[in-house]
Amino acid sequence: MWQVASDYRAHGTPCAYDATSYKTRGLGVLMAEIVFEPDELYKAYNTSKGVAVDDGWCRVRTMSFTSRWSGFLWPTDGDIEENRIFNYLMMEPVEPSAEARSDILVITHGLNEGSYAKLFPWAYNLVLQLHMPVLIFPMAFHITRRSGDWGFSPQGRLANTRSMIKDNYKTSPFNAQISARLSQAPERFYLGGLQSYYDVIDLTDQIRAGAHPGYRPDTRVHFLGYSAGGYLAMNLLLSNPEGRFSESRVTLLASCASLDGMQPKSIFIMDVEAGNRLMTFLHNRHYMDIIPEGMAEKLIEIPRHWMTEIFFHGPSLTSRLETVKDQLLIMANPIDRVIRADAVASNLHPIPVLHLDLGVHEFPFNMPGPLIVAYDRRQNETRTMLSRIRKGHRIAPAYRSEFVKFIHSISTFMDAKQIH
């Protein structure tokens, strides 16, 4: 299916929107050159201290956001100021648009995501391919919305404590904080999801109201939802509050299996005790009776309904999917142990699923499996894993052909409606 050029660039400057770049066979869609290692721009961004930077093709800047929805949260969580006032990442073409833009793509990330690193080359290449801005928007208590007290060293000490819990394993400095929080109150998963749902609605309204200069009032907001972020994007599409997402296109990667096809226990996501507590909470539908104090139940009913339909393949899911099937592109990894590909296909049937041969769920374009079960920096396996994480903003050579398919599939899907 794919006509692939032989000189993909690992380094250097992309020839963005050069007509000599790649073309998808039979579809007539011109493709910009794929950049697997956007080192120059990634380094500039990390040292920019919030100032906009570019590499001549793509500009990166941070945008501020204030959440109005802390009232949904677990009582002690509303005081975490970093979760209420935060920045998100915006990448856009340097070349100015001749007219006001009418489309924007929002990437929503995985559970326990701690940085933009692995999403950076996704956004970078999609900016060049689609010639539209791409936002990476943090969900509640993720990336830039984490408390300043949740650093790697404090989590390491907490992981040591949690490793002493009987029958608990897969503890690590990556997942200790979320594990402790969800073990104490699995309700946080649901309540943070509600906050994120309404934050994205507010983001959409801000874009349409001119918060981002250069956008038309009728700007269409599209989504690339990865893992937990895909469940959020799917909920927004299915619920479609006040018609905001009637023209949106949604790509899902490794997302939207039913609960039976989900296994969140991982050194990068949560430990075994937290995973057991969360899955029990969700399987027993304990969230159904939760109405945060001071919040109207009508705000909860619709997102709660579609969350339940997705998690349990409810009776209205298939018929609703039929109405939005042309707005969806689904991708999954056959060896994924966190969100099983067969469970994605079963839950979202009859929408076809494109299989990509990737690495582990947590780092699909960076790291082969299986993941280690025990984190120990004295072991070679742990040190090798940490080395790969430090290169998380690069696409590993083993997955570059699948990354091309990933980017080109999204580009073709988005172009099918001639949205740009």
Q: Would you kindly state where each structural domain of the chain is located, as residue ranges?
A: 22-149+191-261+294-415
Does 13 score more than 50 pLDDT? no
Which comes out higher in pLDDT, residue 262 or 100?
A: 262
Cα separation of 62 and 45, whole Å?
Answer: 9
Residue 95's pLDDT is: 84
Residue 214's pLDDT is: 76
Return mean pLDDT, the chain: 91
Query: pTM for the complete prediction?
Result: 0.92
pLDDT tier for residue 204 given thresholds of 50, 70 and 90: very high
The pLDDT tens digits of the residues spanning 227-237 come to 999 999 999 99
Residue 17's pLDDT is: 29
Does 221 score more than 70 pLDDT? yes
pLDDT tier for residue 165 given thresholds of 50, 70 and 90: very high
- The angle at the Cα of 111, spanning 106 to 117, to the nearest 5 degrees, equals 60
Residue 12's pLDDT is: 41
Does 16 score more than 60 pLDDT? no
- One-letter amino acid identity for 189? F
Percent of the chain scoring above 70 in pLDDT: 90
Collapsing DSSP to helix, strand or coil, 23 comes out as strand
Residue 2's pLDDT is: 28
* Averaged pLDDT for residues 347-359: 97
Cα separation of 127 and 57, whole Å?
Answer: 9
Q: Assign a CATH topology to domain 22-149+191-261+294-415.
A: Rossmann fold (3.40.50)
Residue 330's pLDDT is: 98
Cα separation of 183 and 373, whole Å?
Answer: 19
* Averaged pLDDT for residues 214-223: 89
Question: Quick check: 124 and 53 in contact, CB under 8 A?
Answer: no
Question: Quick check: 182 and 282 in contact, CB under 8 A?
Answer: no
* Averaged pLDDT for residues 301-327: 97
| Range in 254-268, 288-302, 308-322 the model is least confident about | 288-302
The pLDDT tens digits of the residues spanning 60-99 come to 999 999 999 999 999 999 999 999 999 999 999 998 765 6
Residue 31's pLDDT is: 66
| Range in 48-52, 111-115, 334-338, 350-354 the model is least confident about | 48-52
> C-alpha distances in angstroms, 411 versus 24, 28, 190, 226?
10, 12, 32, 16
Residue 415's pLDDT is: 84
Residue 417's pLDDT is: 52
Which comes out higher in pLDDT, residue 17 or 391?
A: 391
Percent of the chain scoring above 90 in pLDDT: 84
Q: Is 50 left (phi over 0), alpha (psi -120 to 50) or beta?
A: left
Does 419 score more than 70 pLDDT? no
Q: Are strands 58-66 and 53-54 parallel, antiparallel or unpaired?
A: antiparallel
> C-alpha distances in angstroms, 117 versus 73, 129, 190?
27, 19, 26
Residue 98's pLDDT is: 57
Which residues are CB-contacts of 10 (< 8 A; sequence separation ≥ 6)? 36, 37
Residue 416's pLDDT is: 62
Say which DSSP state 83 is in: H
Q: Are strands 134-136 and 85-93 parallel, antiparallel or unpaired?
A: antiparallel
Torsion over CA of 244, 249, 251 and 255, rounded to 10 degrees? Answer: 40
Residue 392's pLDDT is: 94
Does 388 score more than 60 pLDDT? yes
